[in-house]
Structure 1
Amino acid sequence: EASEKTGAGHGRVYMRLEVRKDNAVAIKLYQNMGYRPFGEYKDYYEDHTDALRLQKRILYPGTLTRLLPIPYYPQQTDYTCGPAALIMAMSSLSQERESGMMEELRIWREATTIYMMSGHGGCSPVGLALAALQRGFQAGVWLSTRDTPFVDSVRDVKKKQVIELVHQDYLRQLAQHDVPINYRAITQDDLEQVLEQGHIPLVLISTYRFDYKKEPHWVVVSGMDEHFIYIHDPWIYASDHRFALDNQYLPIKRSSFDRMSQFGQMRLRTAIVISPGAAAESTT
């Protein structure tokens, strides 16, 4: 317990340890303390016995941390992090909002970039803002560049053209709603102000810190304090043995968050801020 307190005091989110796989007593003790297995080391000890790797989350928000009451919703596919994040934001602002895989896929169809890296396309920040507007919410968009987001994630010329066409169409639709785009990176001061107003930011990050893959990923900023930015991460990393509880109010050091919240060769920084509109307020 002393080691856990020390680790948490230094901003460590997880405590990890190894134990012999044949030491059932020790394994049970650690599991009773909240540790869960997440891997193993082969031939770890001098007698060639394998080691079981265990981990426990030790850092949680403090009592003085400002947190928004955001219900957790996990994404159901590997390409719908944006819709899942938007569902969490809308559900927090309007308790009677529909959630579930069908709504998740509807939003993806409305906001997709068509192509992105490999496989299915992810979601455009402008497309997600439009999806929120269509559901009666207000949405603000921050983009650090006027270039087309994610166009540098594909090499094929035709795919680049499709991404650019889709982006221009989203921009035309957003202009019809008289929603201006803030062509600058959203700052941590901006995020603090947004949270104080009760609005909910969705921020694009790179997944490198979690899985070393450098993929674009939408998360919900659910709180802040002096040292950390807390997020709701819609993707449950099975390889890391994380559960839904681990993905709520997940603390990220402020200095680390700045490095995480940029993507691609153009170092894209983008965010969407969701707030209640007249239609959404009427259902709360």
Structure 2
Amino acid sequence: MTTTLSPRLDDELRTALGPARAARWELPREAYAPRLDLARDADGAAVAAVLSSRRGATAAVKIVDVWWRSEADAPAAAGLVDELVDRASANGDAAVKWEVPLGQELPDFARERGFAELHAPHPSAAGTLGSRGYVRWLRELPHTEAPYYAQTTMYTCGAVTGLLAAELAGAGGFAADAAPEPSVADRDLELAFWRRASNYPAIEPLGLGVVMRETLPPERRVEVHLDHDGPVLIEAYSGFERDFRAELQSESQRQAEAVGVPVVRERVAVAEIARRVAGSELALLLIDEAPMHGETGPHWVLAHAADEEVVVIEDPWISSELGESWVDTHELPIAHADLDRMVAWGEAGYRGVVFVDRA
């Protein structure tokens, strides 16, 4: 076996893959730790290859594709997959994903190794189209698989997270059945939720809590945790641009009090988030994207499963131009220590979390 951490296809493998498949292998995945594992015969010719990638600060690796020269070489491909799974297990990962383009099939040896199909996402952004996903969990983490929808704008992560939480809480959400094409009604829903909760363009924790209260039935509890007394997510603004956003947040505070949404100002620990999510709650988390993407930016994700070591999230953002798909961002496990770094924003490192009861 040979390995390259920056996969550049040689002419032999590029020709074997064919133009369309080779183009997919050569997408610029450098931000997500691409790895190419090759098996060769006694003459040095490639007989099997596995391309994989992973987001930083997550506990999952994705198999992008597996190739083998002929049916006689399928065991070599299976051996490369076994080695990848062994590495993931030794690394402490919770899951190995497998992305399969529409028109291709998951090989029989993958099913024999415990890879199970993930539910299809609600079609929305480009990264939700054109592929199926499979997962092999490397730890016992029983839970109900969440629905998935990818945000269609740069600024609607909070709206999508809220709507996915509403769907899990049995209070509507996106279309019940995945269709082959993106739904205009779903996108209208995404934008309408954003308009209700927006601090222009970000959604801040109090505003999100208020709209979740309006969206969920009265018996579903909503609770906001924010260990910061002043307005948030406005550090880059000054003058009028800062003042009107701060005023909107004051109104969100007033509305939260009026509709009975508790606002807890003490910092909530990741262990407590995990405990509550492992029980009967969902957690909408305000994170800094830097640990996953290498670029700082505020972002909302939904935590819906957890144990004493990992929390499983739905991330509505897909870097599809860098080779990601919904398979990367759906059912995504993150270790507690990494989540502790993520759920903190700005120089103050404040933590915004909205807890809601699930169905």
Give TM-score, length-normalised by structure 1. 0.76
Once the two structures are overlaid, the 10-residue window that deviates more, 221-230 or 53-62, is 53-62
Question: What is residue 139 of structure 1 aligned with on the other side?
Answer: 222
Cα 1:170–1:27 change in 2 (3 A) is: farther
Question: What is residue 57 of structure 2 aligned with on the other side?
Answer: none
Question: What is residue 55 of structure 1 aligned with on the other side?
Answer: 52
Question: What is residue 186 of structure 1 aligned with on the other side?
Answer: 268
Please, which of 39, 44, 57 is the counterpart of residue 28 of structure 2? Answer: 39
Alignment of 1:102 with 2:99, yes or no, is no
CA contact (8 A) 1:110 1:131 kept: yes
The one-letter amino acid paired with 2:204 is S
CA contact (8 A) 2:169 2:216 kept: no
Which fold has the larger relative contact order, with Cα–Cα distance below 8 Å and residues 6 or more apart in sequence?
Answer: 1
**Cα distance, 1:197 vs structure 2:** 2.9
SS of residue matched to 2:152: coil
Distance 1:256 1:229 in 2: 10
Please, which of 152, 168, 175 is the counterpart of residue 92 of structure 1? Answer: 168
Once the two structures are overlaid, the 10-residue window that deviates more, 91-100 or 164-173, is 91-100
CA contact (8 A) 1:74 1:236 kept: yes
Please, which of 8, 19, 22 is the counterpart of residue 11 of structure 2? Answer: 22
Deviations 1:175-211 (A, max 9, x none): 1112220102221222123223321101011111233
Distance 2:16 2:164 in 1: 36
CA contact (8 A) 2:9 2:26 kept: no
Give TM-score, length-normalised by structure 2. 0.61
The one-letter amino acid paired with 1:127 is G
**Cα distance, 1:221 vs structure 2:** 1.0
Please, which of 306, 326, 329 is the counterpart of residue 224 of structure 1? Answer: 306
Q: RMSD between aligned alpha carbons?
A: 2.9
Deviations 1:78-131 (A, max 9, x none): 1000011111111112174345111111111111112xxxxxx11011111111
Alignment of 1:169-208 (within 5 A): 169-208=251-290
Instruction: Tell me the matched-pair count.
Output: 245
Structure 1 outlier segments of 4+, above 3 Å = 25-29, 35-38, 95-99
Cα 1:267–1:140 change in 2 (3 A) is: same
Cα 1:184–1:26 change in 2 (3 A) is: farther
Cα 1:233–1:16 change in 2 (3 A) is: farther
**Cα distance, 1:27 vs structure 2:** 6.3
Distance 1:262 1:26 in 2: 47
The one-letter amino acid paired with 2:148 is Y
The one-letter amino acid paired with 1:158 is F
Please, which of 301, 316, 328 is the counterpart of residue 246 of structure 1? Answer: 328
SS of residue matched to 1:91: helix
Alignment of 1:274 with 2:331, yes or no, is no
**Cα distance, 1:249 vs structure 2:** 1.9
**Cα distance, 1:39 vs structure 2:** 2.1
**Cα distance, 1:274 vs structure 2:** 1.6
The one-letter amino acid paired with 2:170 is S
Please, which of 318, 332, 336 is the counterpart of residue 236 of structure 1? Answer: 318
Distance 1:38 1:268 in 2: 36
Distance 2:278 2:307 in 1: 12
**Cα distance, 1:168 vs structure 2:** 0.4
SS of residue matched to 1:246: helix
**Cα distance, 1:38 vs structure 2:** 3.2
SS of residue matched to 1:90: helix
Question: What is residue 44 of structure 1 aligned with on the other side?
Answer: none
CA contact (8 A) 2:271 2:308 kept: no
CA contact (8 A) 1:37 1:54 kept: no
SS of residue matched to 1:18: coil
Question: What is residue 48 of structure 1 aligned with on the other side?
Answer: none
Question: What is residue 209 of structure 1 aligned with on the other side?
Answer: 291
Gaps of 5+ in 2: 31-49, 54-61, 63-87, 96-136, 176-185
**Cα distance, 1:257 vs structure 2:** 1.3
